[in-house]
Chain A
Amino acid sequence: MEYLIGIQGPDFVLVAADNVAASSIIQMKHDYDKMFKLSEKILLLCVGEAGDTVQFAEYIQKNVQLYKMRNGYELSPAAAANFTRKNLADYLRSRTPYHVNLLLAGYDEADGPGLYYMDYLSALAKAPFAAHGYGAFLTLSILDRYYRPDLTREEAVDLLKKCLEELNKRFILNLPSFTVRLIDKDGIHDMEKLPVGPK
Chain B
Amino acid sequence: MALQDVCGFLDTLDDTGPCTYPPNEMGYMWRTASEFDRDSAFHFLFPPQQCSRKNRVPTLFSSTFSSLSPHQQPFQLSHGTTTLGFIFQDGVIAAADTRASCKGLICCPTSQKIMPIHSHLVVNTSGSGADCMLWERILTREMRLYQLRHRKRLSINGAAKLLSMMLHPFKGTNVCVAATLCGWDGEETRETLNSCMEIAEVKEAVEQDTGVSTISDSALSSVKMASVNEQEILKDAYALNPAVSDQNTKNVLSFGGRSGPRVCYVCSDGLQLKGEIISVGSGSPYAYAVLDDGWRWGMTVDEAVALAREAVFRATHWDAYSGNNVDLFHITAHGWRRRDREDLKEEYYRERERKRKKIKEREKERQKREGDELGEGDIYSVHCG
B284 & A26 in contact (Cβ 8 Å cutoff): yes
- The number of residue pairs between A and B whose CB atoms lie closer than 8 Å in the complex comes to 47
A23-B267, A28-B278, A50-B270 known; A55+B52 contact, CB < 8 A: no
Shortest CB-to-CB span from A58 to chain B, Å, is 10
B residues near A155, Cβ cutoff 8 Å: none
A residues near B267, Cβ cutoff 8 Å: 23, 50-51
B residues near A97, Cβ cutoff 8 Å: 53-54
A54 & B272 in contact (Cβ 8 Å cutoff): yes
B172 within 8 Å of A (CB atoms)? yes
Q: How far is the CA of A26 from the CA of B271 in the complex (A)?
A: 13
Contact mask A59-89 → B, CB, 8 Å, 1/0?
Answer: 0000000000000000000000000000000
List the 7 closest A-B pairs by CB distance, nearest first: A51-B270, A50-B271, A95-B52, A50-B269, A50-B270, A96-B53, A29-B273
Measured CB to CB, the residues of B under 8 A from A are 49, 51-54, 164, 168, 171-172, 265, 267, 269-273, 275, 278-279, 284-285, 288
Shortest CB-to-CB span from B85 to chain A, Å, is 12
B270 & A32 in contact (Cβ 8 Å cutoff): no
29 A-B pairs with C-beta separation under 8 A: A21-B273, A26-B279, A26-B284, A26-B285, A26-B288, A28-B265, A28-B273, A29-B273, A29-B275, A32-B273, A49-B269, A49-B270, A50-B267, A50-B270, A51-B168, A51-B267, A51-B269, A51-B270, A54-B272, A55-B168, A95-B51, A95-B52, A95-B53, A96-B52, A96-B53, A96-B171, A96-B172, A97-B53, A97-B54
B residues near A52, Cβ cutoff 8 Å: 171, 270
A23 & B270 in contact (Cβ 8 Å cutoff): no
A residues near B272, Cβ cutoff 8 Å: 51, 54
> Which one of B164, B271, B288 contacts A21 once the chains associate, using CB atoms below 8 Å?
B271
B51 & A28 in contact (Cβ 8 Å cutoff): no
A25 & B270 in contact (Cβ 8 Å cutoff): no
B52 & A51 in contact (Cβ 8 Å cutoff): no
B residues near A26, Cβ cutoff 8 Å: 279, 284-285, 288
B residues near A21, Cβ cutoff 8 Å: 271, 273
Q: How far is the CA of A55 from the CA of B266 in the complex (A)?
A: 13
Q: How far is the CA of A77 from the CA of B115 in the complex (A)?
A: 46
Q: How far is the CA of A28 from the CA of B275 in the complex (A)?
A: 8
Shortest CB-to-CB span from A94 to chain B, Å, is 9
B residues near A23, Cβ cutoff 8 Å: 267, 271
CB interface residues, A 18-55, toward B, < 8 Å: 21, 23, 25-26, 28-29, 32, 49-52, 54-55
Shortest CB-to-CB span from A187 to chain B, Å, is 20
B residues near A54, Cβ cutoff 8 Å: 164, 270, 272
Q: How far is the CA of A183 from the CA of B278 in the complex (A)?
A: 34
In the complex, residue of chain A having the shortest beta-carbon distance to the beta carbon of B55: A95
B271 & A51 in contact (Cβ 8 Å cutoff): yes
Residue from the set A25, A26, A50 with the largest chain B CB neighbour count within 10 Å: A50
Shortest CB-to-CB span from B328 to chain A, Å, is 22
Shortest CB-to-CB span from B31 to chain A, Å, is 17
B residues near A32, Cβ cutoff 8 Å: 273
Q: How far is the CA of A49 from the CA of B180 in the complex (A)?
A: 20
15 more contacts with CB within 8 A, not counting A51-B164, A96-B52, A96-B171, are A23-B267, A26-B279, A26-B284, A49-B269, A49-B270, A50-B270, A51-B171, A51-B270, A51-B271, A51-B272, A52-B171, A52-B270, A55-B168, A95-B53, A97-B54
Shortest CB-to-CB span from A47 to chain B, Å, is 13
Q: How far is the CA of A28 from the CA of B265 in the complex (A)?
A: 10
A residues near B265, Cβ cutoff 8 Å: 28
B270 & A55 in contact (Cβ 8 Å cutoff): yes
Q: How far is the CA of A54 from the CA of B275 in the complex (A)?
A: 16
A residues near B271, Cβ cutoff 8 Å: 21, 23, 50-51
In the complex, residue of chain A having the shortest beta-carbon distance to the beta carbon of B164: A51
Q: How far is the CA of A157 from the CA of B70 in the complex (A)?
A: 52
B residues near A25, Cβ cutoff 8 Å: 285
Contact mask A87-112 → B, CB, 8 Å, 1/0?
Answer: 00000000111000000000000000
In the complex, residue of chain A having the shortest beta-carbon distance to the beta carbon of B47: A95
Q: How far is the CA of A31 from the CA of B307 in the complex (A)?
A: 24
A residues near B273, Cβ cutoff 8 Å: 21, 28-29, 32
Shortest CB-to-CB span from B376 to chain A, Å, is 49
A residues near B288, Cβ cutoff 8 Å: 26
Q: How far is the CA of A95 from the CA of B53 in the complex (A)?
A: 6
Shortest CB-to-CB span from A91 to chain B, Å, is 10
In the complex, residue of chain A having the shortest beta-carbon distance to the beta carbon of B274: A29
B residues near A49, Cβ cutoff 8 Å: 269-270
A residues near B269, Cβ cutoff 8 Å: 49-51
Q: How far is the CA of A26 from the CA of B273 in the complex (A)?
A: 13
In the complex, residue of chain B having the shortest beta-carbon distance to the beta carbon of A95: B52
Shortest CB-to-CB span from A38 to chain B, Å, is 19
Q: How far is the CA of A55 from the CA of B270 in the complex (A)?
A: 8
A residues near B53, Cβ cutoff 8 Å: 95-97
Shortest CB-to-CB span from B263 to chain A, Å, is 11
B residues near A50, Cβ cutoff 8 Å: 267, 269-271
